[in-house]
Structures are given as structure tokens and as C-alpha cells.
Amino acid sequence: MKKIARVLVATVPVLFLVCSCAPNLGLQAPRYSDDGQVFAYLSSNKKHSQHISFTLSAIGFMDENGKWYDVMLHPLAISSGELSTGQIKLKEFYLPEGKYKKTRWVISEAGYLDQNKQYVRLNLPDQVHHKTTSGRVFVDSDFRIFSRESLCLFAQWDVDNSIEDKHLFAPKLTVEPQGMAIENVLAYVSNEASNCVTIIDRQEDEVVGTIAVGKAPRGITARRDRATVYVANSGSNDISVIDTSVNRVINRIGNLGNAPEDFAWSWDNNLLYVTNPHSNNVSVIDADSGMVISRINVGNRPTGIVADKDRQKIYVANTDSLTISVIDTNTQTVDNTFTVSSSPRYMALCDDRLYVANETMDENIYVVELPEYSVSAISAGFSPGWLVCGLSNRVYVANAPGNEVSFLYTAAEMITRTIPVGHLPAGMAVDPIRRKLYVANSRSGNVSVIDVTAERWKKTIQTGNKPHAIALIEE
């Protein structure tokens, strides 16, 4: 089990968090190639007696030379009640490389609810002295932005100690950067439009860090030894290898294919298979050496891929060929090809059944009986997308157009439960010990957490832009 280490930097009146990925916030976009990306989060002590709200207009960052970089926000209303359930992502931005010593919060309004639930406006800090319409709060900090790297800054708001003399809003903040040693039960989320990976603590279901990777990361997988995570960068045609002990990229593997999409592991966890939709092949990587050792031609636009460890096979969905290729992992050759339906893309292997969903608006889930390759269909009543094997004879099915996840009970071949999630759900991952399902919502920039025992939504975690897939570190 891993534990998160963070470095406490300063204590002043509020607490907020900032994470940095490859270039994208301080500034709305990187001015120079050596800028670093930052994500800003805000949290609070979980239990507080006061209900305080304020409007945040901007955050500034002062470097070691005294130069300020301002990050403008759409006026953001922040409520202590909302923070009691978790973090708020303030914004994603870029800052130039260097050390930063101070942060400045610009607050345009603040107030609280009194005993009669009436809103009482508060005076703003630094407002009278400077004769401005907004208040300013300065917080000492100490963090460094590295070129093309990712960082999270975490700020926590001490709600109950943020009003002075009954009328002055003086938010108590502490600021700490993302720690180097993040050791806990973790989930890794690829963010296709942010070029980074978000790290989530699965015990608290909160963001604890971020890692810059290549361009347009999509598929993501963790090796069984828990030491490494692999990220398919579809925009830069390579694979980032993350060392989970330090949460940094330690290698980039040239993929020998175009737009790498998804992963599957060999039965012994030594070989990694990667689909390349734009070159119609699958790359085979020796995980120990980090070398591409083979390239296997399959059908047109291979996308989804799953491993059958019992039969030592790899199944590849060729979306434009309308077929599925079967790779023998002992010979690294295609030994069978069969047709399931039109445009197969999403697959899940559960026991001796391969479940397949199409890229088109087909409302069926196709079931392939193994090893006979006989095919039947289950009507879902919607256009199914991503599939993942679940608990208690369930297959979890993403309904992207409907912004829902459905539970398919395989014994009865029927949908038994549908749960609303975020916009355009994509990749999913199951935590069998905590009995939770994590769902990447690509259009809403967050991850939904579902309690699969109670079959209900539990929490939403804000990530980078366009989260695509999720990998869990096994325990």
C-alpha cells in the first residue's frame, strides 16, 4: 500500500491546490516551449461549522525575482458547503520555468449565512487600504516549475478561522506543492487534451498529482508489478513509461506505428501489445528492455484490444474492416480472423465470453463464445460504448450519448441498472476491493466514482481536459 507525501510550505489566512502538466494555465497557453503546466485546486478542512462563500476573480504568482504572473478566472463562486465533499479545480494554466515565492488571491465578494440563514456580506481584506473594489490575500509559497513538467499545488481553506472581528473576510490558507513520493492506492487518468496524466488517491478519491506525458495521451495501463505505467501518446506516436515510485516519466518508446491507441498484456506480463489505428498494425514491446520487438499486421484501423491469458491470445478490433483478429502470443502471428458486426471497437473479456460494442449507432452488445467464436447479440436499448468486466456477473457499459453507465447482468443478458455520470463517458476501471467503478467523462473533464454495491453515484473528481482512460495500480 502506498502513502502520499506532501511538503507543507506556508500557513496564512486559505488553502488552494495547483497542479502542473505539460504546457496549458498562469497563462492561458504556453508562451514558450519551456513553460510548465499547472492545475489549481482548492479544498477545505472537511468539518466546519460556518457556511462561508466568496467569489474569486484571479490568482497571481510571484517568482523569485518579484515578477507577478496573473491568472484571470471567470468570477468563480466558492462555497464552503461544496468543499466539504472534496476538491474544486480552479483552473488549468501555464507558468514560465522557475521558482515561485508568493501567491495572490483576488476576491470580489464574500459573505456568510447567519443563524437565520440570511446572507451577510463581509468586508474584503486589503480593500480599504488600497481603495480597490476587490480584496487581495497574499500567501507565502515555495515551489518550482520545471520546463515541460507537471506539478500540483494544493491549497486548503480553514473555513472556521476565516472571519475576523465579525465583519472581515480573512481566509486562512496553506499552500503545498505536489510531493515527489506519492505512495497510496492510486489511479492514473490520461487527459487527451491536456497532454498529461492525473493521479488519484483511491482511498480519498482526490487528486494528488499530475505527470506531463506526450501529445494526446489515450490508452493507459499498469504493469502487474506496480512499478510502471504505460501511456499511449496518439499525437506524438510514442509511449511514455512512468515510474510509479517517483511518478515521473523515465522512458519514451518509439512505437513503430501511427496514433497508438490501446494496450493489452501477454499472459506472463512481459510483452505489451499496442494498437496503431493509422498504420493497421499492432506493436509488440518487451517491457523489460523497452524495445519494440515485433509489428503484427492486422485489419483496417485496429482500436480496441484485450488479452486472453488462459488461451494465450490477443483479440484486436479492426473497426474499419468489421473484423476481429486473433493473435497467438507464442508465435506473434494472426491465427484467426472473424466477423462480429459492423465497426467493432470496444471489447471486454469476461470468463469465456468476449463482449463487443460498435463504433456506430448499433444498439446491440455482441457476445462471442470462446473458443468456438460463435456470436449472439444482446439488445441494450442504446448505443453502447466502452465495456469493462464488473463484479457479481456484471459488465459495465458506457452510454456516451446518454451520459450514463449501465449494468449488464450477464446471466440474464439484460440491463438491470443505469446510473447518470458526466458528459460523454469513455474509459472505465473497477476497484474490486473498494467495490468502486471509475468512469472518465471526456467532455466534462472529470471522473465519476460509482459504488457498485449500492449501484449509485458516489463522487466526481475533476481532472485535466478530455480524460480518456484509467489504469489502477493493483494491490
What is the average per-residue pLDDT within 3-30? 44
What is the average per-residue pLDDT within 424-453? 98
Look at residue 86 in the predicted model and tell me its pLDDT. Answer: 83
Look at residue 234 in the predicted model and tell me its pLDDT. Answer: 97
393: left (phi over 0), alpha (psi -120 to 50) or beta: left
Domain locations along the chain: 10-177, 216-472
Unique residue bearing C-alpha cell 463581509: 122
- pLDDT, one tens digit per residue, over 251-265 is 999 977 899 999 999
20 pLDDT higher than 90: no
Look at residue 12 in the predicted model and tell me its pLDDT. Answer: 37
Look at residue 30 in the predicted model and tell me its pLDDT. Answer: 58
Look at residue 174 in the predicted model and tell me its pLDDT. Answer: 85
How many angstroms separate the CA atoms of 79 and 239, rounded?
40
> Which three three-digit cell numbers place residue 50?
460556518
DSSP assignment of 411-464 equals TTTEEEEEEE-SSSEEEEEEETTTTEEEEEETTTTEEEEEETTTTEEEEEEE-S
| Percent of the chain whose pLDDT exceeds 90 | 81
What is the average per-residue pLDDT within 323-330? 97
248 confidence band (pLDDT: 50, 70, 90): very high
What is the average per-residue pLDDT within 63-80? 93
Look at residue 393 in the predicted model and tell me its pLDDT. Answer: 94
H or E segment to which residue 98 belongs: strand 98-113
Please state, rounded to an integer, the average pLDDT across all residues of the chain: 90
Look at residue 391 in the predicted model and tell me its pLDDT. Answer: 95
Closest to 323 in 3D by CA, of 311, 334, 312: 334
How many angstroms separate the CA atoms of 62 and 421, rounded?
38
Would you identify the CATH topology of the domain 216-472? Methylamine Dehydrogenase; Chain H (2.130.10)
Closest to 448 in 3D by CA, of 460, 435, 436, 430: 460
What is the average per-residue pLDDT within 387-404? 96
17 pLDDT higher than 80: no
126 confidence band (pLDDT: 50, 70, 90): confident
- pLDDT, one tens digit per residue, over 358-388 is 998 899 999 999 999 999 999 999 999 999 9
Residue 235 gets which letter from DSSP?
T
Look at residue 43 in the predicted model and tell me its pLDDT. Answer: 92
Closest to 365 in 3D by CA, of 344, 335, 350, 390: 344
464 pLDDT higher than 80: yes
